[in-house]
Amino acid sequence: MYLARLKIKGRIRYIIRQSFPDQGHFKSRDLFDLGEDPTRYIHYPGGNSYYYDPMVEEAIGDLGVELAPDDLDRIFFGFLPPGIQRVITGFDRGFRNRSALPDTDNSGKHPPIHPFDKRRYHYLRFGHSSQRYIEKVPQKYFKLLRNKSRDELEHYFQEEERRLAHHALGPYMATIFGLSGMHPLPDADQPFLSQLDQYFTDQLCRLNEDTAFLAGTPKIDGLYPHLIRYILFWFDHAPARPDLEWQYIRDFIRRHQVYHPPPKTKIKIREAEKLFGYDWKTLKRMDGPSLTRIYRRLALKYHPDQGGDTDAFRRLTRTFKALIRNKPKR
- Give per-residue pLDDT as tens, 189-214: 666 667 788 888 999 999 999 988 98
Decide: 38 and 78 in contact? Cβ < 8 Å: no
Residues 132 and 242 in one domain: yes
Rg (alpha carbons) of the chain, rounded to whole number = 30
The model carries a pTM of: 0.65
Residue 307 has pLDDT above 70, yes or no: yes
Residues 143 and 213 in one domain: yes
pLDDT at residue 97 in the model? 59
Distance CA 234, CA 175 (A): 12
Whether 204 is covered by a domain: the verdict is yes
Range in 13-17, 119-123, 177-181, 273-277 with the lowest mean pLDDT = 177-181
Residues 75 and 17 in one domain: yes
Whether 285 is covered by a domain: the verdict is yes
216 to 22, 185, 230: CA distances (angstroms): 8, 38, 21
pLDDT at residue 107 in the model? 44
Residues 15 and 124 in one domain: no
Residues 226 and 273 in one domain: no
pLDDT at residue 184 in the model? 60
Whether 330 is covered by a domain: the verdict is no
Question: 11-22 and 2-8: which strand pairing?
Answer: antiparallel
Residues 70 and 181 in one domain: no
Residues 241 and 268 in one domain: no
Whether 329 is covered by a domain: the verdict is no
Whether 217 is covered by a domain: the verdict is yes
pLDDT at residue 104 in the model? 46
pLDDT at residue 234 in the model? 86
69, 97, 125: which is the final residue of a domain? 97
Whether 240 is covered by a domain: the verdict is yes
The count of structural domains within the chain is 3
Whether 301 is covered by a domain: the verdict is yes
> Which one is predicted more confidently, 109 or 259?
259
Decide: 168 and 127 in contact? Cβ < 8 Å: yes
Distance CA 157, CA 153 (A): 6
The pLDDT tens digits for 33-86 are 999 999 999 999 887 789 999 999 999 999 998 888 788 888 998 898 888 888
Residues 147 and 90 in one domain: no
Residues 34 and 77 in one domain: yes
CA trace torsion 281, 282, 285, 291 (10° rounding): -130
Residue 106 has pLDDT above 50, yes or no: no
With cut-offs at 50, 70 and 90, classify the pLDDT of residue 185: low
Whether 18 is covered by a domain: the verdict is yes
71, 97, 123: which is the final residue of a domain? 97
194, 212, 246: which is the final residue of a domain? 246
pLDDT at residue 153 in the model? 94
Q: Which domain holds residue 316?
A: 263-324
When the pLDDT of each residue in the chain is averaged and rounded to a whole number, the result is 82
